[in-house]
Amino acid sequence: MELKNKHIWNIIEVVNEVNNLDCLTKTRKEPFVYARCMAMKLIRKHFPETTLSEIGMYMKPSNGSPLNHATVIHAISRKFDVYMTDEIFRCLYANCETIVGSLFKTAEEKRADELNAAMNAEIEQSTAKLTAKIMELKRELFIEVNRSKSPDEIYNAAVQKVPVEHRDEFIKLRLEPFIKMKKSAEFYPEFKTKEITTLKN
């Protein structure tokens, strides 16, 4: 059987690098046993579809036979919990998990990322439409509110917002030209420019 999953080989490489050894070496020395257990646990966690027999084949020592499925399940379900009581093992495993997690994600995590991206795009699109609708309603409301006011009320409100020392300049350079442009419009047909003089005070 050809072992083609490069990500599983990456996990084994990470474990070897963190533990500074080759976990596929045929030996029962504790550091190697720890490293093999870490590798099998990480493979099972990130690739649950991988069978125990396949994991055993990946963990085949360079000068030995593949691990049988009983050895694999014993390592990841029993020995792992025992080894986790050892502080050194916990630190090494945590380092391996951090590195492996940064290398790739499980299919479920990738799918979750895709769904989150799609939801965010939909939210942004909906927000843009809602913002445009709010602006449209604000413009309509502004027009309706101003239609109920007399010209004097509208322009006087504009003048009152200008500091007293700048009102003459505002009326002459801004307000009068605007009113002259608008005075013939249907909006304020009754407005006369001579009424401007009453707004200065």
| pLDDT in 10s for each residue of the chain, 201 residues | 556 778 899 999 999 999 999 999 999 999 999 999 999 999 999 888 889 999 999 998 877 888 998 999 999 988 998 999 999 999 999 999 999 987 776 556 666 777 888 888 888 888 888 788 777 766 766 665 566 566 667 677 777 777 787 778 877 877 777 777 766 554 544 444 444 445 545
Whether the CA torsion 80, 84, 85, 89 is positive or negative: it is positive
pTM recorded for the entire structure = 0.51
Sign of CA dihedral 191, 193, 195, 201: positive
The angle subtended at Cα 169 by Cα 163 and Cα 175, nearest 5°, is: 95
Q: What share of the chain is helix, strand, coil (3-state, %, to 5)?
A: 75, 0, 25
